[in-house]
Amino acid sequence: MWRHIVANFLTILIVLLVVAAGAITWAQRQYAGPGPLAASACLRVAPGDTFRKVSDALISQGAITSGYIFRTGADLEGKAGALKFGSYLIAPGASMQQIVGVVTTGGPSTCGAEVNFRIGVNATDVILREVDPATARYVERVKFDPAASAAPAEYLDAAAKPDVRLRVTLAEGATVWQVVEALKRADFLTGDVQEIPEEGSLAPESYEVARGSTRAALLAEMARRQDAVLAEAWAARAEGLPYTSPAQALVMASIVEKETGVPDERRQVASVFVNRLEQGIRLQTDPTVIYGITEGKAPLGRGLRQSELQRETPYNTYLIDGLPPTPIANPGRASIEAALNPADTNYIFFVADGTGGHAFAATLAEHNRNVERWRAIEAARPPAGN
């Protein structure tokens, strides 16, 4: 009898173990296998949220089939206490395991709203944009000039959320004065700027910042990156350049930056000025004259007057020999690399060609013909405002 009871017990136990093993295998497949989400979804994890609240949100969005398996899997992986707040784009078919990895790894949010504070040469604007989960692309919601108008309510509401991404983008060719003045209006930054950085020392890049970061710390990071770019380009410079230091190369790069907005001709523009330096010809470039007038504090907004071209300043390259004493703007990587690896040309002159670029010439006669063509293009254009 006892043997019969023991045999039955063992049979039942084996069946239970098999069922349990099958259940575990099934749960593992549910946890690691493709999920049911048909289209991308944006999951917002707020500060203080729990895995239960997150699993409930995922179920309501159709991203997972079982909150229990989701939470248990996170617990078994040792990630139950590692939830990071933010807004995360959940891809179609993402497994529970993949979603757990996303919400516990943290880092920059991948969906939701982003504020981009853009510092340009002529203006500063603030753009609020948001990821559309259906397309995984940004959609612009608000754009305004913080110097000209108050922040719209939609911006204030979005910018106040703890998971909004904050970004400062610096355009090539802006001056340090413009950067500092613009950052004063970045309401998510703190602190005063005690000292204006040296001209040209800030890297035109995009910077993700945390709310409450100091303006001084951001400027220091901009300077660190520019130093790194300049050092890298200087180490890879062409031989025989008429610069004795990286500082002089930075001056040239700023001139190249202000002379052309066409990426493909930066090295040609640099070759013109290098050739002039090597031949003892004055640089005769308008952007340096303008910097001597404005000190980089605002765009001139008009053409240069003859009296200004004759005014003596350290930056009037129609009157001084060689390079001006400092950069005239913050040049980007491409202009720095062009200044240190200019094209191999015999060009001495260039003038606008009507397409947004320039016509280059090695002789004065050729240059004069290019100037005549440019004047004809200007004369054929309708008056401004028509």
Q: Would you state the pLDDT for residue 265?
A: 94
Q: Would you state the pLDDT for residue 8?
A: 57
Dihedral of the CA atoms 171, 176, 181, 182 (nearest 10)?
10
85 CB-contact burial (10 Å; exposed 0-12 / middle 13-18 / buried 19+): middle
Dist CA 114 CA 112 (whole Å): 7
Same domain, 141 and 195: yes
Same domain, 364 and 376: yes
Residue 71's SS3 state is helix
Q: Would you state the pLDDT for residue 5?
A: 60
Question: Measuring CA to CA, how many Å separate 258 from each of 121, 270, 284, 285?
Answer: 10, 11, 13, 10
- For 190, residues 6+ apart whose C-beta sits below 8 A from its C-beta are 212, 213, 214, 215
Dist CA 126 CA 146 (whole Å): 7
Cβ–Cβ contacts within 10 Å for residue 380, how many? 8
340 domain residue, yes or no = yes
Q: Would you state the pLDDT for residue 234?
A: 97
154 domain residue, yes or no = yes
The domain tally of the chain equals 3
Same domain, 349 and 272: yes
Same domain, 348 and 255: yes
Last residue of a domain, one of 111, 133, 161: 111
Same domain, 347 and 306: yes
Pair 133, 39: CB distance under 8 Å: yes
Same domain, 258 and 337: yes
Question: Measuring CA to CA, how many Å separate 72 from each of 24, 37, 69, 76, 383?
Answer: 11, 20, 5, 6, 72
Dist CA 209 CA 218 (whole Å): 8
Facing residues of 208 across strands? 167
Same domain, 372 and 244: yes
Facing residues of 86 across strands? 45
Same domain, 246 and 355: yes
The closest of 201, 195, 207, 349 to 268, measured between CA atoms, is: 349
Last residue of a domain, one of 198, 230, 262: 230
Q: Where are the beta strands (DSSP E) in the chain?
A: 41-45, 86-90, 113-119, 124-132, 137-144, 165-170, 206-209, 349-352, 358-361
What's the CATH number where 66 sits? 3.30.1490.480
Dist CA 365 CA 375 (whole Å): 15
Dist CA 14 CA 225 (whole Å): 65
Same domain, 370 and 293: yes
pLDDT tens digit at each of 386 positions of the chain:
555 565 555 566 565 555 555 556 655 777 877 878 887 888 888 778 888 888 888 888 888 888 888 888 888 888 878 888 878 888 888 888 888 888 888 776 777 788 899 999 988 999 998 877 777 788 888 898 988 888 889 888 888 887 788 999 999 999 999 999 999 999 999 999 988 999 999 999 999 898 899 999 999 999 999 999 999 999 999 999 999 999 999 999 999 999 988 889 999 999 999 999 999 999 999 999 999 999 988 888 888 888 888 889 999 999 999 999 999 999 999 999 999 999 999 999 888 887 888 988 899 998 889 888 888 877 777 765 54
Same domain, 254 and 352: yes
- For 148, residues 6+ apart whose C-beta sits below 8 A from its C-beta are none
Task: Please provide the DSSP assignment of 5-39 as one string.
Answer: HHHHHHHHHHHHHHHHHHHHHHHHHHHHS--S--S
The closest of 169, 65, 48 to 120, measured between CA atoms, is: 169
Q: Which domain holds residue 117?
A: 113-230
* Phi, psi (degrees; rounded to nearest 5) at 185: -95, 0
Q: Would you state the pLDDT for residue 287?
A: 94
Q: Would you state the pLDDT for residue 373?
A: 86
Task: Please provide the DSSP assignment of 206-275 as one string.
Answer: EEEE-TT-BHHHHHHHHHHHHHHHHHHHHHTPPTT-S-SSHHHHHHHHHHHHHH---GGGHHHHHHHHHH
Cβ–Cβ contacts within 10 Å for residue 341, how many? 16
Q: Would you state the pLDDT for residue 11?
A: 63
Same domain, 54 and 119: no
Q: Output the pTM of the full model.
A: 0.78
Same domain, 217 and 249: no
